[in-house]
Amino acid sequence: MIIDQLKNAHLYYGMSKKIATALKFLEENNLSRMNSGRYAVDGDDIFTLFQSYMTKEVQECKWEVHRRYIDVQFILQGREKMGYAGLEKMEVIQDYDEETDVAFLEGEGDFFNVTSGYFVIFEPDDVHMPGIAADTSEPVKKFVVKIKI
């Protein structure tokens, strides 16, 4: 897992060409003018989901993990708490679904706040829980760039 400000995205270009493409998409587009939905960046290899929602209590959120895609989650507006845990600390409660590329888990993890202008990169073994209210429920606008591995 990596967390940083978008202004520092260039520091992570060397991780892979696809991660560089995803981060450049976030840097080079006027994201505030986009509507919620799915946008192709590089076909099915890299696409983004622009989401607008209200954050929820931690009890309403789920631990999740992916196999086929890396997540780059960028907070455009608002703030939310996210959870992070290693896969070895978790127990599967809903088996992996190939179509949606997600399994749901339960267990203990660590939490941190993410505010507008920051991104988080979750690799496939990084169990994460997004969408949690930092203090009280608030509106969030977020881009989740999915990078096929």
Question: Taking phi first (over 0 means left), then psi (-120 to 50 degrees means alpha), and beta for anything else, what does residue 107 get?
Answer: left
Q: Helix or strand or coil: residue 108?
A: coil
State pLDDT tens for residues 7-65.
999 999 999 999 999 999 999 999 999 999 999 999 999 999 999 999 999 999 999 99
State pLDDT tens for residues 83-122.
999 999 899 999 999 999 999 999 999 999 999 999 999 9
Residue with tokens 């169990």: 127
Predicted local distance difference test score (pLDDT) of residue 125: 87
- Terminus-to-terminus CA distance in the chain, angstroms? 15
Q: Do 84 and 108 touch, CB atoms closer than 8 A?
A: no
Mean pLDDT across the stretch 111-135?
97
CATH class held by domain 2-148: mainly beta
Predicted local distance difference test score (pLDDT) of residue 112: 98
Q: For all residues of the chain together, what is the average pLDDT?
A: 97
